[in-house]
Amino acid sequence: MKRAVVVGSGAGGSTVARELQGDFQVTVLEAGGSFHPFPRSLSMIEKLKKPAGPFLNESQIQWIFPAMKVSKTRDGMVLVKGIGEGGTTTLSTGSAIRQDQDLRAIGIDLDVEFEELARELPISADHQALWHVPTREAFTVCADMGLRPQPTPKMIRRERCAGCGRCVLGCPRGAKWDSRDYLEQAIAEGAALVSGQKVRQVVIEDGRATGVVATNGRRTQLYPAELVVLAAGGFGTPVILQQSGIACQSSLFVDPVLCVATRWEEAAQNREMPMPFTVQRERFMISPYFDFVSFFFNSRWKYPAGDIFSLMIKLADTNAGTVSPRGVRKPLLETDRVRLEEAVNCCKEILHKLGKADADIFLGTLNAGHPGGMLPLTQRESRTLHHGCLPPNLYVADATLFPNSLGNPPILTILALAKRIAMTCREHAG
């Protein structure tokens, strides 16, 4: 049986591994280790914050939660990603929002794949009973403003969900679906998972990929393969490609996230399902969301966690930026700043209608939500989903392929795209 190496165990990697195992002998290489939900009491961590104010900088979140890695771009934007089996899906809100309009515009129809996902995943939008009073009031205000709010479809096992608010810290009850589910299915069928392996480059000989080189500490190892699929994420995959001698485009997007918050005694949003409903606008979305990064590291978030209510903006930013072995550069262009200001004003108007004064409103920390776009698909690749710059047996299966920023949670769309890529691999790289 031919060998396939899949790099990354997040949404794209786990899906491809599950779909390919059996046709190939699959080995999944993951840079991190086993994922464990945040085990500590948040009230205890909050007490550590109070005497000295916020922690010194965002990267220190790994002191209390090793599965979350936080760094910064060379422009100062905070980058947040998951490190470990399951990738960033373990730290996601579990939102299942279909966002394939840009793929459809270039001729990629994923209807079959989305239908498969609807059968395979526990997706539900029936969770209003878990909403707290401020969220219910915000939903009503948004509806009255003509913003057409909609309950967010969630990848949750509803019977297990306690609405505890810890989705982005790892679900403690196993209610939220993450890609480890697909990964475990692949392993049960014979796939191998090797954790702690940071892939440096794809080995290319005579125009074909022959494997990948990975390191674990000082140890370097070659993993031979007849098929290689990169799914290391929008920050990881472009670096591997560049280190393999394959150029990417300077078209990075990151879906910038900014929260607009207010003091609201006993809102308890920190103990509520994140992103319970969404408001979709042109080039941005708005959703209730408690931002733990801002709470622990932004001096403006000085109130007790239970007394803060926040609206999250997720911006569909311009494709302009790069990630390389030297780091990430992601400027916000003037058009991005204008859209972000429009979104902030919309959030403030919602909070005003909820009875909150400007003096009680404060902003969070701007951070990168979902990176991608540095090897975007075009109509030319709509049938094969394979770029001509790649060897014929090297594929990419993550948001690196997205033509544009979604300004929305990308997991469901990545899952659908990865399913199609796995099918293409079986047909053309087998």
Q: Residue 429 pLDDT more than 70?
A: no
Average pLDDT of the residues in 281-297: 93
Structure confidence at residue 72 as a pLDDT band (50, 70, 90):
confident
Q: Is the CB of residue 284 less than 8 Å from the CB of residue 313?
A: yes
Whether 368 shows a pLDDT value over 60: the answer reads yes
**Per-residue confidence (pLDDT) for residue 36, from 0 to 100:** 85
Reported as a single tens digit per residue, the pLDDT across 137-152 is: 999 999 999 999 999 9
Compute the distance between CA of residue 76 and CA of residue 226 in angstroms, rounded to an integer.
40
The predicted pLDDT at position 83 comes to 81
Residue 37 — pLDDT band, cuts 50, 70, 90?
A: confident
pLDDT band with cut points at 50, 70 and 90 for residue 55: low
What is the Cβ-side half-sphere exposure of residue 64, based on CA atoms within 13 angstroms?
20
CA dist 177 and 121 (Å) reads 8
Instruction: Flag whether pLDDT at 2 surpasses 90.
Output: yes
> What whole-number percentage of the chain has pLDDT above 90?
82
> Alpha-carbon distance 251 to 136, whole Å?
38
- pLDDT mean over 170-183: 94
β-pairing verdict for 361-363 and 256-263:
antiparallel
Residue ranges of domains in the chain, CATH in brackets: 3-34+177-247+373-428 (3.50.50.60), 42-83+127-152+256-368 (no CATH)
Specify the pLDDT at position 7. Answer: 98
Residue 94 has pLDDT above 70, yes or no: yes
Q: What angle do CA 321, 326, 330 make, to 5 degrees?
A: 20
pLDDT tier, 193 (very low <50, low <70, confident <90, very high otherwise) = very high
Euclidean distance between CA atoms 251 and 11, whole angstroms: 22
If one compares 418 and 294, the residue with the highest pLDDT of the two is: 418
**Which pLDDT band holds residue 56 (cuts at 50, 70, 90)?**
low
* The predicted structure's pLDDT at residue 430: 52
pLDDT at 58: 61
At 46, the pLDDT band (50, 70, 90 cuts) reads confident
Share of the chain above pLDDT 70, in %: 94
pTM of the model: 0.95
pLDDT at 130 over 90: yes
Other C-beta atoms closer than 10 Å to the C-beta of 76 total 8
Question: Is the pLDDT at 377 greater than 90, yes or no?
Answer: yes
**Average pLDDT, whole number, for the chain?**
93
Give the pLDDT score at 127.
Answer: 95
Give me the mean pLDDT over the 144-170 stretch.
Answer: 93
pLDDT at 235: 94
Confidence of residue 74 (pLDDT cuts 50, 70, 90): confident
274 versus 78: which is more confidently predicted? Answer: 274
The pLDDT of residue 66 is above 80:
no
pLDDT at 95: 97
Task: Give me the mean pLDDT over the 396-414 stretch.
Answer: 97
Helix residue ranges, H only, 21-178? 42-52, 61-64, 101-105, 111-120, 133-144
Q: Is it the case that residue 163 has pLDDT exceeding 90?
A: no
